Amino acid sequence: MGHAHIGVTATVYAHVRLRLQRDAIELLGHALRNPPEITCTPDDDPPLVGSTVH
């Protein structure tokens, strides 16, 4: 980044990191509340994870 000290870079870009963490937590929460429906046909291998955890 061209900063003389890593602390400067961390301070300047800390808000980006926090936003990405919040986005990831929100996405994970959505995925856990609304799991995709797993379907398979007789020719398919069974899904690796087939049950929903509540």
Residue 28 lies in a domain: yes
| Per-residue confidence (pLDDT) for residue 26, from 0 to 100 | 92
Overall pTM > 0.75:
no
Looking at per-residue pLDDT, the higher value among 16 and 24 belongs to 24
Tell me how far apart the alpha carbons of residues 5 and 3 are, in angstroms, rounded to a whole number. 6
Domain containing 19 equals 1-33
Alpha-helix residue ranges (DSSP H) falling in the chain: 6-33
Instruction: Render pLDDT for 18-48 as a digit per residue (tens, 0 to 9).
Output: 888 899 999 999 988 987 776 666 666 666 6
| Per-residue confidence (pLDDT) for residue 38, from 0 to 100 | 66
Question: Dihedral of the CA atoms 9, 10, 12, 13 (nearest 10)?
Answer: 110
Residue 4 lies in a domain: yes
Specify the number of domains making up the chain.
Answer: 1
Residue 51 lies in a domain: no
pLDDT at 53 over 70: no
Tell me how far apart the alpha carbons of residues 41 and 27 are, in angstroms, rounded to a whole number. 29
Average pLDDT value for residue range 4-11: 79
